[in-house]
Structure 1
Amino acid sequence: MKENNKMYKCKKFIYTANGIVVPKKIIEPKRLFKYYGCEDYHYKSFMGSYLYTSHPYNFNDSIDGSSLLLNFKNITKEKYDKLWDEVKWEDEENNPNNYYVDKLKDFEHIRQRYYIFKTKRIGLVSLTSSPLNILMWAHYSSEKGFAIELDTQILKDNIKNLNEDIENFSYCFLGHIIDLSLKEEIYPI
């Protein structure tokens, strides 16, 4: 991330003004941890051996899963039209001027439509590879709950095998970076 003419760097990722440069392969952890608070529904999910999935709207961090993370700034008219066909309501026509009107508003309309279309049927679970993750402890257990350890491979197998109604599932890293170091050199971006 370039801020105040400096670039911030993490051991695994380099954040730039144009996006995130990510290594091609992220090593999958053998175990993951789920943090819980002391509420009854947390005990019920633990005792019932299930993970409750949340819609991004329900996250305690308003930026996690936000449509603001979608960057449509450099979208072409062709790509816009293709996206419109994907996210339009039934029998809705794409006005040829939609692209130009939406471009003046930083593509807010297509970004919101795309976000709603892509997230209307998803649920997310926040897990960590660290049994001592202070941020997860604070956010998910209110500093007085508990954490459980999950075997990553068994978890992935169970998601596929025990949930016939799930059309798709993906396992991906969406994390907060804690170990940032400030680089003294300034790199043009």
Structure 2
Amino acid sequence: MEEYKYNGFKYIKDYQNTEVPIIIEHGKKKPENIFKFYGLSRFSVDALTKGYFYTSHPIELNDILDSSPFLFYTSKPLDFEYYNKFLGFLYEGKEEELIKYYEEDSREPNLCKGYIFQLWETMTNIFGIISTTGKENNPLMWPHYTQEKGFQIKFKTDELEKSIPEKLTADEEFLGLYPVNYTSTLHPIDINQFGAMFIPFYYGATVKIDTWEYEDEWRFLIGKQQMGVPYSKSGFSPREDYLVKKENRYTYYDKSIVKEITLGMNFFNGRDFEIDRVNDKIINVKPKEIESNWEFKSQQKLLDYLCTDLNDKFYYSGVKYELDEQEKPYLIRTKEKMLIEKLDGGFYQLTRTENIIKLIEKPA
């Protein structure tokens, strides 16, 4: 049994329990619903219509310190046995070279940095992160992740947590759903105090600077073989990507469990769409097939999918005024349930239902 406490989280590895790789005690209540924000692109629309998430490599996350190899260090040289277990097969018949590498890497100033980076590269080739949020209505999420032109999908957390493992194959592993451990200072974890990398790995995959706390992020961790390492996305890296096929980072779920989809307020804009306001409740829209509308095909594909599969789950973002206790108006975000129907000539008819849901609480 190994334990590590940090910032109110407790990371526990019970080597007698083979059913779960690790336990993370955190005291946070799992949200009833969970949300995924997407910018509009052919990749995000493909993921929605086929029912999968792209399971990100740490290099692809939007914070270079997130799940980074710099979150691991050792306060003293590791035993040679660590190197032999991890790298021995590469030096078969050349044990003297491995010993030389160990002696050079384990002394100051390196102090096992070569070992740590190689171990991180190996682990992240078989590991990925699906980022979701427990907050529907944070005002920063829409502009940061969708530019107000993308979409948000909603799931029941328990249903998604059940569906993902059901879609995995025998050689893939569901590593769990965990909240991010937001901290004021990022402290690297000393791997020397652990017999294996279970606790350091899960610590590195869940800790994040508290500047990001507004996201209320919950992460699905997935293990698969040969997921790839996108070296070229890292700064000043001359290395070519190690890729097998991009589909190895796809993690599927049952499409029927999508509870809602909400389009951003600027999705239907006059630059990309022909817009005909028939009356107060009915608006006809048509994506413009012009050179400046790069996402024409994605818009068509998404709208077709809304018509056929998500018509009863479709919402559109909006704003409205509320009055505070002094009868002073303030703005809130909303979403309104809408109906969509495909018409002739490439048009889609949107019908407002006036079923408007307020998304931001009254200010204090």
Please, what TM-score do these two structures have when normalized by structure 1? 0.69
**1:84 corresponds to which residue?**
83
Deviates more, 1:81-90 or 1:124-133: 81-90
Contact 1:45 1:52 in 2 (8 A): yes
Q: In 2, Cα distance between the equivalents of 1:145 and 1:161? A: 28
**2:7 corresponds to which residue?**
20
Amino acid in structure 2 at the alignment position of 1:146: F
Q: Deviations over 1:126-165 (max 9, x none)?
A: 1111112345434432343221112221112111111114
**1:109 corresponds to which residue?**
114
**1:172 corresponds to which residue?**
178
Q: In 1, Cα distance between the equivalents of 2:32 and 2:107? A: 44
Q: Deviations over 1:59-115 (max 9, x none)?
A: 222222211122x2324533xx34324431624244177256434124311210121
Q: Cα RMSD (Å) of the superposition?
A: 2.8
Q: Deviations over 1:23-70 (max 9, x none)?
A: 633332222111100112111211222112111122222222211122
**2:62 corresponds to which residue?**
60
Q: Structure 1 residues 27, 42: CA separation in 2 closer, same or farther (over 3 Å shift)?
A: same
Task: Tell me how far 1:19 sits from its aligned partner.
Answer: 5.4
Q: In 2, Cα distance between the equivalents of 1:174 and 1:160? A: 20
In the TM superposition, what are the counterparts of 1:24-63 in structure 2 within 5 Å?
24-25=25-26, 26-63=28-65
Higher relative strand content: 2
Mark the runs of 5 or more structure 1 residues left unpaired by the alignment: 1-17, 180-189
Mark the runs of 5 or more structure 2 residues left unpaired by the alignment: 11-24, 183-209, 215-364
- Structure number with the bigger relative contact order (C-alpha 8 A, sep ≥ 6) is 1
Q: Structure 1 residues 156, 90: CA separation in 2 closer, same or farther (over 3 Å shift)?
A: same
Match of 1:51, SS state, is strand
**1:11 corresponds to which residue?**
none
**2:75 corresponds to which residue?**
74
Q: Which has the larger radius of gyration?
A: 2
Contact 1:38 1:145 in 2 (8 A): yes
158, 161, 165: which is aligned to 1:153?
158
Contact 1:45 1:51 in 2 (8 A): yes
Number of paired residues? 159
Contact 1:36 1:146 in 2 (8 A): yes
**1:140 corresponds to which residue?**
145
